[in-house]
């Protein structure tokens, strides 16, 4: 060996790579330098938005580039809506912002079928363009599209699920829109507010299967469950779901809301193997994954030993429409009008709207401060977001969010199969740290990543080969 300085340079010490650190927001490991660099590049307004959604966070802690980009995009979405978003004391963040969804895809050219207890032709679905392709009630003959114009006790649930997925936010100036806000809809009534029977859900799926080509149905959302646990090998409802998958339809089903009970069965069709079963996420109405928790969703194993759900999506704090033309709608409009009215106008407004809300009628003579307290209590008690929307909870609303992501994926890649779409949604989902895997499956859906995976899988057009004679005449090799 030749000593250093006697003709050979001393070997350079190896540079040690900085140990990765977890991003304080999403908990994914990234290089420490990148955490600080991303934080230093934030606009002051983005920094303020991060701090508002992550109590205790300081810019010196940094954040990863992905979180920085998501918060910047969220700020861009909210900037034009913030005055309206904060018009009430109980602001709810829009779903596209909460999930960091792409603005580019909105379910164009895709039809989603909804199976539910009833529906209503809400303005978010029919204005300025009517996107309801068909309405059918499988529980009776003679159902007509005009049935959607009159609200009844069974209309609200299906109206909410369909608008959560496909609403364009017409009554909120575009703020509370679904991810598939330009998709077409087929509405299939399978029961009533009192009961949706096992076999009627099966009949609804079988109708969708028969009519899939006529209406271009690629996704079916089922925010209701059967009457009993059953093996998919013998259960007709589960078999209908499996048949739909084999025929090019992705079935998204809510897993149920019994996760807090000793027994938390997963009922058909959510228990079927090919169905994409969706549980609930409680994101605390914030934009930081570090604060995520699980909603009390049902979970497996099923009677066939399958673990469900596969993915989760927001199942609480979800903005959904209030059924127009109902007592609830009239009360919401009055309460929100009082919320923004000057003190001097409170009593005159209440007295000019008698019998709308008995509590307000009885309180009309109270001191102004007490009236204000009552109005605030009613906003909270009725879960009001605006005069036209309230916030709701349940896996019934998590499932349509995933259905709308699937519609974005089929828009990005129409050649995608249901099996491929399900696999991509599973692979791109993000696990909630410290949460039971059995209850969350592969984690929270990531719309942007899922759509990117779908678009990347688009088959490349094959280069057409010329016939040998034509190629020879043109002097090309074959």
pLDDT at 28: 84
Of 145, 148, 189, 182, nearest to 167 (Cα)? 182
Q: Tell me where in the chain the CATH 3.40.50.200 domain(s) lie.
A: 99-319+394-456
Residue with tokens 């900085």: 18
Give, to the nearest 10 degrees, the angle between helix 65-79 and helix 32-40.
20
User: Can the peptide bond before residue 269 be classed as cis, meaning omega within 30 degrees of 0?
Assistant: yes
pLDDT at 356: 96
User: Can the peptide bond before residue 422 be classed as cis, meaning omega within 30 degrees of 0?
Assistant: no
CA distance to 231, 234, 299, 307, per residue, from 303 (Å): 6, 12, 12, 10
Gap between the Cα atoms of 460 and 239, Å rounded: 34
Gap between the Cα atoms of 423 and 438, Å rounded: 18
pLDDT at 2: 44
Q: What is the DSSP string of 122-187?
A: -HHHHSSS--EEEEEETTSS---GGGGGS--TTHHHHHHHHHHHH---GGGTTSS--TTTT-EEEE
Of 21, 27, 92, 20, nearest to 432 (Cα)? 27
Classify residue 27 by its DSSP letter.
-
CA distance to 10, 11, 12, 218, per residue, from 6 (Å): 10, 13, 16, 75
pLDDT at 465: 53
Q: Rounded to an integer, what is the distance from CA 205 to the centroid of its chain? A: 22
Gap between the Cα atoms of 281 and 121, Å rounded: 28
pTM recorded for the entire structure: 0.89
Gap between the Cα atoms of 64 and 51, Å rounded: 15
Gap between the Cα atoms of 132 and 114, Å rounded: 11
pLDDT at 207: 98
Classify residue 89 by its DSSP letter.
S
pLDDT at 33: 84
Q: Which stretches does DSSP call E strand in 364-478?
A: 389-392
User: Can the peptide bond before residue 309 be classed as cis, meaning omega within 30 degrees of 0?
Assistant: yes
- Full pLDDT tens readout for the chain, 478 residues: 444 455 555 555 555 556 788 999 888 888 888 888 888 889 999 999 999 888 889 998 999 998 999 899 888 888 877 766 655 545 899 999 999 998 899 999 999 999 999 999 999 999 999 999 999 999 999 899 999 999 998 999 999 999 999 999 999 999 999 999 999 999 999 999 889 999 999 999 999 999 999 999 999 999 999 999 999 999 999 999 999 999 999 999 999 999 999 999 999 999 999 999 999 999 999 988 878 999 999 999 999 999 999 999 999 999 999 999 999 999 999 999 999 999 999 999 999 999 999 999 999 999 999 999 999 999 999 999 999 999 999 999 999 999 999 999 999 999 999 999 999 999 999 999 889 999 999 999 999 999 999 999 977 665 555 465 555 555 544 3
99-319+394-456 CATH fold: Rossmann fold (3.40.50)
pLDDT at 433: 86
pLDDT at 80: 77
């Amino acid at each position: 060996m030749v000593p250093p300085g006697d003709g050979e340079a001393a070997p350079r010490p190896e540079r040690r790579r900085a140990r990765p650190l977890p991003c304080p927001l999403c908990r994914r490991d990234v290089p420490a330098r990148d955490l600080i660099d991303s934080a230093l590049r934030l606009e002051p307004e983005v920094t303020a938005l991060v701090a508002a959604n992550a109590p205790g966070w300081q810019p010196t802690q940094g954040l990863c580039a992905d979180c920085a980009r998501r918060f910047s995009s969220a700020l861009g979405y909210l900037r034009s809506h913030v005055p309206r978003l904060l018009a009430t004391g109980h602001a709810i963040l829009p779903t596209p912002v909460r999930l960091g969804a792409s603005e580019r895809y909105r379910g164009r050219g895709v039809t989603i079928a909804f199976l539910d207890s009833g529906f209503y032709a809400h303005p978010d679905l029919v204005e300025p363009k009517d996107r309801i392709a068909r309405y059918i009630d499988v529980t009776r003959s003679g159902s007509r599209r005009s049935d959607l114009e009159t609200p009844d006790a069974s209309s609200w649930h299906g109206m909410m699920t369909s608008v959560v997925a496909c609403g364009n936010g017409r009554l909120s100036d575009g703020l509370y829109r679904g991810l598939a806000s330009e998709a077409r809809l087929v509405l299939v009534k399978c029961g009533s507010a009192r009961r949706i029977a096992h076999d009627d859900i099966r009949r609804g799926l079988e109708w969708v299967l028969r009519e899939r080509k006529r209406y271009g149905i690629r996704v079916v959302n089922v925010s209701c469950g059967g009457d009993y646990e059953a093996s998919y090998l013998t259960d007709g409802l589960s078999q209908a779901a499996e048949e739909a998958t084999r025929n090019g339809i992705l079935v998204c089903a809510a897993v149920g809301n019994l996760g807090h009970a000793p027994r938390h069965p997963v009922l058909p069709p959510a228990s079927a193997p090919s169905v994409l079963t969706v549980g609930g996420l409680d994101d605390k109405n914030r934009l930081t994954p570090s604060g995520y928790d699980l909603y009390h969703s049902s979970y497996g194993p099923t009677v066939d030993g399958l673990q469900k759900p596969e993915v989760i999506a927001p199942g609480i704090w979800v903005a959904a429409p209030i059924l127009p033309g109902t007592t609830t709608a009239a009360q919401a409009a009055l309460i929100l009008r009082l919320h923004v009215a000057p003190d001097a106008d409170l009593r005159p407004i209440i007295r000019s709207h008698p019998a709308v809300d008995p509590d307000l009628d009885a309180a009309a003579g109270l001191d102004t401060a007490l009236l204000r307290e009552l109005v605030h209590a009613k906003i909270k008690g009725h879960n009001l977001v605006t005069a036209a929307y309230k916030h709701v909870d349940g896996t019934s609303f998590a499932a349509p969010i995933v259905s709308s992501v699937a519609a974005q994926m089929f828009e990005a890649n129409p050649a995608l199969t249901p099996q491929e779409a399900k696999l991509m949604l599973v692979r791109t989902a993000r696990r909630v740290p410290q949460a039971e895997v059995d209850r969350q499956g592969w984690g929270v859906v990531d719309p942007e990543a899922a759509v990117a995976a779908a678009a990347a899988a688009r088959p490349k057009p094959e280069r057409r080969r010329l016939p040998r004679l034509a190629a020879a005449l043109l002097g090309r090799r074959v």
